[in-house]
Amino acid sequence: MSNENTATPTTARTAGPLDVERLVQELTLEEKASLTSGLDFWHTQPVERAGAEVPAVMVTDGPHGLRKQSGASDHLGLANSVPATCFPTAAALGSTWNVDLLDRVGKALGRETRANDVAVLLGPGINIKRSPLCGRNFEYFSEDPVVSGDLGAALIRGIQSQGVGTSLKHFAANNQETDRMRVSADVDERTLREIYLTGFERAVKKASPWTVMCSYNKINGTYASQDHWLLTEVLRDEWGYDGVVVSDWGAVSDRVAALAAGLDLEMPATGGRTDAQVVAAVRAGELDEAILDQAVRRHLTLLNRALPALAEPGAFDVAEHHALAREAAAEGAVLLRNEPVDGTPVLPLDPAAAASLAVVGEFARSPRYQGAGSSQVQPTRLDDALTEIRAITGTEVPFAAGFGITAETSAADDALRAEAVELARGAETVVLFLGLPASHESEGFDRDDMDLPANQVALLEAVAAVCSRVVVVLANGSAVTIAPWQHHTAAILEGWLGGQAGGGAVADLLFGVRNPSGKLTETVPLRLEDNASYGNFPGEFGHVRYGEGVLVGYRYYDAKRMDVAFPFGHGLSYTTFAYEDLSVTVSGEGPTASLTVDVTVTNTGAVAGAEVVQVYVGDPQAAVERPERELKAFGKVELAPGGTRTLSFELDARDLSYWHPVLRRWVVEGGEFVVSVGASSRDLRGSAAVTVVGEDITPPLTPSSTLSEALAHPVAGEIIRTAMAQTDGTSAMPLDEGMLALAGDMPLRVIAAFDGMLFDEAQLDRLLAASGAA
Ligand code: BGC
C-alpha cells in the first residue's frame, strides 16, 4: 500500500503561537473537521485562509529511529526513508533496564526528529508481550507493565525534551499481529487494568506524551478507536491526559463514532471523505460541535508545542549517535549463560588468544539488527560483528557462514555446514552467530513456533561435536527456544535486534571491553506450550480470549511452579554482586500506605559492572487470586570492584493494590505483604514480610449476595447473627458451621424465597437497607 506525495507541504515557520481559542471560534465547520484528519500519509492538514492560517506538520515512525519518507509513502516500511540512526529495538532497549540511558537515546531520537522537520515521532510502543510469538514483540519492551511503562516514559521524556512529540502506542490490548485490524481482545477489566493498561498509565502520568495512538483491534467487541471508555473515561478523566489521541494508520472504522469517543486525529488521509461525514453529523445534530471543537483545540495545542522546534531544526552528530547506539546495544544484550570450561567461565574471551578463534554463522557478517514493518529505518551506518571482532583482536579471525538465511542460500546448507565444521575443528573457541531470519518475525504476522531454524540447530550440533568451547550469539526480536540445544554451548549472549551498532556492541561484550548488564524483560520458557497464552493465541473467528487473566509471563510460570529456561529478570555479568541489609518500612494506611525499601548492593568481583536490582511484591492473603510476586520497582547501579551503594525505593499504595472487580477501583487490602529484592524473579536475595493496614473493601450487598458475604458484612452480618441467636430452636436452619457449609453460597434472595428459612423478603429488604445497599 503506497502512494506518491507529489506536493509535500512545507511546514510553516510561524513567528508566534497560534491563538487557539480565536481559531476555534473563527474556523468554519469544514475547516475544523479537516484539522482532525490527515492531509496525506504523514502530514496533518493546514488551513490556508488569510487570518486563520494553521500550518501542516509532519509525523513519522518510529520507535527506535526516524523513518521519514520524502517520496513514496507507506505504513509498512516498504518505501525508502532518509538515513537515520537505527538504535537498538525496544527488545534490546528494554533489557537495559536503564531509564537514564533511555532518556539519552530519546534525546538523540528527538534531535534527529527535529533536524528533519518532523513534529512527532510515532513511538514508543509499549504493548505487553503476551506471547513470544507476537511478530512485533521486538518493538515492545516487556511482558511486565512496570518495565514497559517506566522505560517508555524515559524514552518519551528524552524525545520530548528536544521540542518534538511522541506517540505512545498502541492503545490498547494490541498483543498480536494476526487479524490485528479486526480481532477483539476479550479480556476482563481487572486483567486489563493490572496488566495491559498499567504501562500506558505510568507512561502517561510520568511523561505526558504529546500524542497517544489508539490500536487497530477491538477490546471486548469495541474498536479501540471508538471506545469512549478507553479514550475518554480512562485515559482523560481518570489519568488526566490532555494531549491528542491519533488513530493507528487506518484504525478508524466509523469516524463520527471515533470523534465522539475521544479520537482527535484520523491518520492517514481519507481524501476528505470522512471529514464530510463529520460535517454532516454536526449539521444533522448527531455530533455535538463542542466535541469537534475540543479535538481542534487539542490539535492546535499540539501545533503550538511543535512550532518552536520546527522553526529551529538544528542538526545532529551522526558519529555521536552511532556511538550511543553501540553503548545502548551493549547494555541491552543479555548474557544468558557462561559456563566454566577448564575451571574458568568461557567469556570474556582474551583478544590476545584470537589465533585460536573461529567465527561461524551468516549473521556475523550480515547482521539482523532491526525488524520489518513501520519501524524499519535506513541506518546511517551498519556495523557487523565479524569486522568488529577483527578490529578488537587485530587478527583476521577466520569465518564460515555455516547456513543460509534466504531460500537460495539455504539450498547450500550441507556444504556450508561441512565447511564450518572443518573450520571449527581447528579452533579452540567458536563464536557462533544464530538467530531468526527476517522472514520469521515482522510487523503484520506472528510466528508459528519459537524455534530457531532447523539448519542452524543442526549446525550448532555439528560444531559442538568438534569443539568444546562454543559461544552462541543470538539475534532475534523475541524469545526463542533455547533449552533443547543449550547444553551444546559454553556461553549464550542474547543480542536481540541491536540496531546499526549491534555488531560492535557484541564484539565489546565478547572481549570484555564492556561488561554485560542486560537482563531479560521476558521469560524464556522451556517450550512454547508452557506459555500462559498457549491455547488462547491468536484466537479464532475474530476473537482472542485472554483466558490466563493476570497470570501473564513470569506471573504464570511462578503460579504454576514451572521450570523455565531463563527467568524474567535474569542476566549474568563478568562480576558478582552481593545484596545486604534489606529493610522495609511501612507508613500510612489504606490509600495512603507506602513502603520504603532499602537494600545495599556490593560489587564482589574483580571488574566494574552494573546490576539491575529488582523489587517484587506479593500479597499472599488477598481476597482475589494475585500473582505470587510482581515487579514494582527497579534500579540500575554501576559499581567498581568492591564498590557499595544503598538503593532506596518508594512504593506507593498503588504498588500494593489490585483492581477490585466489584468495586471497580484500586484497593489496598490489609494484611501481610512480602517484599523481595533480587537479581532476577527467581534469584531473590532478600525478603521481608510487612503488615499493611488496608481500607474497607466490603462490596455493597445486593439480593444476589450470598449468605457468607452477608455474614462477612460488618452491619448485615451482625444483624443476621443477632437474629439467629434469638431463634426459639424451631428454625429449619440453625446457624452453625454445618449449615454454613451447605447454605453459605446461597444468594439472599433464594433464602428469602424459601418459607421459614432465616428471613422472608420483607426482612431481606430491611437487611439490605440497614447495610447501606442502594
Ligand atoms: C503501525 C504503527 C505505525 C503506523 C504508521 C501502522 O501500521 O501499526 O505502529 O506508527 O503504521 O506507519
75 CA: nearest ligand 1 atom: 12
pLDDT digits (tens, 9 = 90+) for 104-161: 999 999 999 999 999 999 999 999 999 999 999 999 999 999 999 999 999 999 999 9
User: Cα dihedral angle (139, 124, 190, 184), rounded to 10 degrees?
Assistant: -60
Task: Determine whether the shortest distance from the Cβ of 218 to ligand 1 is under 6 A.
Answer: no
Measured in angstroms, how far is the CA atom of residue 94 from the centroid of ligand 1? 20
Measured in angstroms, how far is the CA atom of residue 727 from the centroid of ligand 1? 69
> How confident is residue 74, by pLDDT bands cut at 50, 70 and 90?
confident
pLDDT digits (tens, 9 = 90+) for 662-677: 999 999 999 999 999 9
Angle between helices 289-311 and 273-283 (to 10 degrees): 140
Q: Is the pLDDT confidence value at 550 over 90?
A: yes
The identity of residue 612, as a single letter, is V
CA distance 382 to 216: 33
Taking 3-state DSSP, the helix, strand and coil percentages for the chain, each rounded to the nearest 5, stand at 35, 20, 45
Selected catalytic residue, list 103, 248, 413, 558 = 248
Task: Determine whether the shortest distance from the Cβ of 122 to ligand 1 is under 6 A.
Answer: yes
Beta bridge partners of 615: 633, 677
Is the distance from CB of 128 to CB of 148 less than 8 angstroms? yes
Task: Please report the pLDDT score of residue 505 as a whole number.
Answer: 98
pLDDT digits (tens, 9 = 90+) for 216-259: 999 999 999 999 999 999 999 999 999 999 999 999 999 999 99
pLDDT digits (tens, 9 = 90+) for 390-436: 999 999 999 999 999 887 777 789 999 999 999 999 999 999 999 99
Please give the DSSP secondary-structure letter assigned to residue 530. G
Asked about 350 being catalytic, the answer comes back as no
Is the distance from CB of 356 to CB of 396 less than 8 angstroms? no
Measured in angstroms, how far is the CA atom of residue 76 from the centroid of ligand 1? 7
Task: Determine whether the shortest distance from the Cβ of 37 to ligand 1 is under 6 A.
Answer: no
Measuring from atom 8 of ligand 1, which residue has the nearest CA?
A: 248
Measured in angstroms, how far is the CA atom of residue 548 from the centroid of ligand 1? 28
169 CA: nearest ligand 1 atom: 9
Q: Enumerate domains of the chain plus CATH numbers.
A: 28-311 (3.20.20.300), 326-566 (3.40.50.1700), 577-692 (2.60.40.10), 707-771 (no CATH)
Is the distance from CB of 711 to CB of 724 less than 8 angstroms? no
> How confident is residue 7, by pLDDT bands cut at 50, 70 and 90?
very low
Does an H or E element contain 34, and which? helix 29-34
**Residues above pLDDT 70, as percent of the chain:** 97
> How confident is residue 363, by pLDDT bands cut at 50, 70 and 90?
very high
Angle between helices 454-464 and 413-425 (to 10 degrees): 30
CA distance 134 to 522: 13
Task: Please report the pLDDT score of residue 1 as a whole number.
Answer: 37
Q: Is the pLDDT confidence value at 728 over 70?
A: no
